[in-house]
Amino acid sequence: MFQLPSPLQKIETALTRQFNVNLFIKRDDLIHPEISGNKWRKLKYNIEQAKKENKDTILTFGGAYSNHITATAAAGKYFGLKTIGIIRGEAYQPLNKSLQFATDCGMELVYVDREKYRNKNSSDFRSMISDFEESKIYFLPEGGANTLALQGCAEIVDELNIDFDFICCACGTGTTIAGIASNLKPHQQAIGFAVLKHDKLEQEIFQKFDIQHSKLTIQNYPFGGYAKTTPELIQFIKAFYIEHQILLDYVYTGKMMFGLFDLIAKNYFPENSTIVALHTGGVMNANVLSEL
């Protein structure tokens, strides 16, 4: 059911030849059709922990298009745990594709307004979920961003059987890139591509996780903000699909790959560098091929 270790695939294109870099893509998008990419990495030890603590329910948080919500719902289905999704904003009917999928997996959705959602870690919030049996609930933060998630993401590096210099990943909370950065050899560096407008993401990651500063750089490719696109980005994703038959999404991996190609073209990488780009999945919820 799970394709692990995920495949590593070489990408050759005019750009990599011109700038003399070796580019590989690690296909975490192929780990599982419904719990794809870094969401599985982040859930793995949390599910183990929930079971260890004898919880029967995972409760987590996300927006209406959250890959973390859909992945948690699917994981609950496969691993025999109930799931509750606290969704930011109002309920809309019909449900969008992500929330419909989550519901089909058995997830119970609870909608909270933006203000309450912001206070989601307060005791106030706990009283709002008093309908549920709290002692049985395993609380997982938004985006699955905790230390156990970090541990799961660190394993991405252990699976790589080539000697690489740089490893790249799209960043929302930054948990995935932080986990990767925590497990590198002295000559290796992680580059996170921020897909949202967030000036302080780098600072925040270093505050939250114990990562050496020399191991991680954040590059900003927000294209106007989270889940926003430009015609240039859409064009890039289509061209990438036509050339490599690999589908990128416009929320995360499309922005990372665009950013990475941009850095290659700006001569960011020394000649002969070996670069691994992590395909973190996400195409189930947001792809652009339907527009082709």
φ, ψ for residue 237, nearest 5 deg: -65, -40
Q: Which is nearer to ligand PLP, 38 or 57 (CB)?
A: 38
Helical axes 253-265 vs 231-244, angle rounded to 10°: 90
Q: How far is the CB of 201 from ligand PLP (least distance, A)?
A: 9
**Residue 70 near residue 102, CB atoms below 8 Å:** yes
Q: Which is nearer to ligand PLP, 76 or 281 (CB)?
A: 281
φ, ψ for residue 79, nearest 5 deg: -105, 15
Q: Which of 173, 183, 189, 287 binds ligand PLP (CB under 6 A)?
A: 173
**At residue 112, what is the residue type?**
V
**Strand, helix or coil at 11?**
strand
Strand ranges in the chain using DSSP code E only, listed in sequence order: 8-11, 22-27, 57-62, 82-88, 108-112, 137-139, 166-171, 189-194, 216-220, 274-279
Q: Which of 143, 152, 254, 259 binds ligand PLP (CB under 6 A)?
A: 143
Q: Which of 86, 137, 150, 171 binds ligand PLP (CB under 6 A)?
A: 171
**Residue 78 near residue 112, CB atoms below 8 Å:** no
Residue 28 to residue 26: CA distance in whole angstroms: 6
Residues 13 to 42: which contact ligand PLP by CB under 6 A?
37-39
φ, ψ for residue 88, nearest 5 deg: -75, 125
Q: Which stretch binds ligand PLP (CB under 6 A): 130-138, 168-176, 181-189, 239-247?
A: 168-176
Q: Which of 57, 67, 70, 189 binds ligand PLP (CB under 6 A)?
A: 67
> 147-180: buried (b, 16+ CB within 10 Å) or exposed (e) per residue?
ebbbbbbbbbbeebeeebbbbbbbbbbbbbbbbb
Q: How far is the CB of 131 from ligand PLP (least distance, A)?
A: 28
> Can the peptide bond before residue 270 be classed as cis, meaning omega within 30 degrees of 0?
no
Counting contacts by CB under 6 A, is residue 6 touching ligand PLP? no
Q: Which is nearer to ligand PLP, 19 or 281 (CB)?
A: 281
Q: Which stretch binds ligand PLP (CB under 6 A): 91-99, 116-124, 174-182, 269-277?
A: 174-182
Q: Which is nearer to ligand PLP, 19 or 255 (CB)?
A: 255
Q: Which of 183, 280, 284, 287 binds ligand PLP (CB under 6 A)?
A: 280
Q: Which is nearer to ligand PLP, 6 or 67 (CB)?
A: 67
Strand ranges in 63-194 using DSSP code E only, listed in sequence order: 82-88, 108-112, 137-139, 166-171, 189-194
Partner residues linked to 25 by β-bridges:
9, 277
- Binding pattern to ligand PLP, positions 177-206, x when CB under 6 A? ------------------------------
- Binding pattern to ligand PLP, positions 91-130, x when CB under 6 A? ----------------------------------------
CA distances to 177, 184, 186, 193, 205 from 214, rounded to whole Å, are 13, 11, 10, 16, 13
Residues 211 to 270: which contact ligand PLP by CB under 6 A?
252-253
Q: Which of 46, 57, 175, 189 binds ligand PLP (CB under 6 A)?
A: 175
The binding site for ligand PLP (CB under 6 A) comprises 37-39, 67-68, 143, 170-176, 252-253, 280-282
